[in-house]
């Protein structure tokens, strides 16, 4: 990202405070990183590309209160953070929104593909919109042209701001946050927390869902399948 005014607007949108723990995923060459330094008590950057991260570490070696992690953010346990400010690698936008369901945070300020926001806002019915309705509030801040980047991406981008909903735990919250588990295992935990024995829970699941659906990981369920499960167990 090379548009300096846009970079400043991204930082401003996060309303950073000195007590914030800031997370940046995919810093690349560090144009956004450099504006985030000193804005909170700690800045953690996670970059998958080893060479890019090494160059950034060398360039910022005099800076304090910054931690570098070389990892795939979708495979790495994230550090505690209050705000994530990132120009995300577009291929991990959806996986990260599932992952963030397990973390307590205040704000996400993200650059994502513009068409991706159609799913987030529900212009097209999808399981991703269901996830957003369950966990998050979203604010569309601005459309970003291709010219803001070098090299230019193939698609237009958007700047969005996401806050976590502080609503009481409901079935979908408990179910979807177990996205990497098999459906039957997640349901078993939910039913046992409601007071059923393990045997009673497994029996109810067996009677209610076909075997193929029980064995599916939650993240691989279709919107229709999630809605079917919600009707039967909520």
- What CATH number has the domain bearing residue 10? 3.40.50.150
Structural domains counted in the chain = 2
If asked whether residues 69 and 12 sit together in one domain, one would say yes
Q: List CB contacts of 166: < 8 A, sequence separation 6 or more.
A: none
pLDDT tens digit sequence for 159-170: 999 999 988 778
Domain boundary residue, one of 136, 164, 192: 164
In this structure, the answer to whether residues 156 and 196 fall within a common structural domain is: no
Determine the Cα–Cα distance for residues 17 and 205; give it in Å rounded to an integer.
47
Cα separations (Å) of 161 from 17, 125, 188?
16, 21, 34
191-200 tens-digit pLDDT: 999 999 999 9
**Are residues 49 and 133 both part of a single domain?**
yes
15-68 residue pLDDT tens: 999 999 999 999 999 999 999 999 999 999 999 999 999 999 999 999 999 999
Residues 83, 30 share a domain: yes
How many residues are given for the chain? 234
d(CA 122, CA 19): 34
167 or 228, greater pLDDT: 228
Does the pLDDT of residue 138 top 80, yes or no?
Answer: yes
**One domain for residues 159 and 175:** no
What the block records as the tokens of 70 is 């070389």
pLDDT (average), residues 74-90 = 96
pLDDT of 108 over the 90 cut: yes
Are residues 19 and 123 located together in one domain of the fold? Answer: yes
Nearest Cα neighbor of 66 from 89, 105, 33 is 33
Residue 93, domain extent: 4-164
Q: Which of 130, 164, 198 is the last residue of a domain?
A: 164
Assessment of whether the complete model's pTM goes beyond 0.95: no
Stretch 85-102: mean pLDDT: 95
Last residue of a domain, one of 164, 186, 219: 164
Residues 6+ apart with CB under 8 A from 131: 97, 98, 101, 176
Q: Are residues 81 and 160 in the same domain?
A: yes
Indicate whether 148 and 196 sit together in one domain.
Answer: no
For residues 63 and 137, membership in a common domain is answered with yes
CA-to-CA distance for 15 and 17, rounded, in angstroms?
7
Same domain, 29 and 120: yes
Distance CA(49)–CA(150), nearest Å, equals 18
Asked whether residue 15 falls in the same domain as residue 115, the answer is yes
Strands (E), the chain: 21-25, 42-47, 66-70, 83-87, 107-113, 136-144, 157-164
């Amino acid at each position: 990202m090379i548009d300096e005014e846009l970079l400043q607007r991204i930082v401003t949108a996060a309303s950073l405070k000195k007590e914030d723990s800031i997370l940046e995923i995919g810093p690349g060459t560090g144009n956004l990183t450099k504006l985030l330094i000193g804005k909170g008590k700690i800045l953690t950057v996670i970059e998958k590309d080893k060479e890019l991260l090494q160059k950034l570490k060398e360039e910022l070696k005099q800076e304090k209160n910054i931690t570098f992690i070389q990892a795939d953010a979708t495979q790495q346990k994230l550090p505690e953070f209050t705000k994530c400010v990132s120009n995300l690698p577009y291929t991990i936008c959806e996986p990260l929104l599932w992952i963030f369901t397990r973390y307590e945070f205040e704000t996400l300020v993200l650059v994502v593909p513009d068409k991706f926001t159609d799913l987030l806002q529900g212009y097209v019915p999808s399981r991703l919109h269901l996830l957003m309705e369950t966990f998050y509030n979203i604010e569309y801040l601005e459309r970003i042209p291709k010219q803001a980047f070098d090299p230019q991406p193939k698609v237009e981008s958007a700047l969005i701001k996401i806050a976590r909903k502080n609503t009481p735990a409901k079935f979908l919250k408990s179910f979807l946050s177990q996205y990497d588990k098999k459906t039957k295992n997640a349901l078993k935990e939910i039913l046992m927390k409601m007071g059923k024995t393990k045997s009673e829970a497994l029996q109810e699941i067996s009677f209610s869902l076909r075997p193929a659906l029980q064995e599916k990981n939650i993240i691989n369920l279709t919107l229709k399948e999630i809605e079917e499960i919600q009707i039967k167990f909520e």
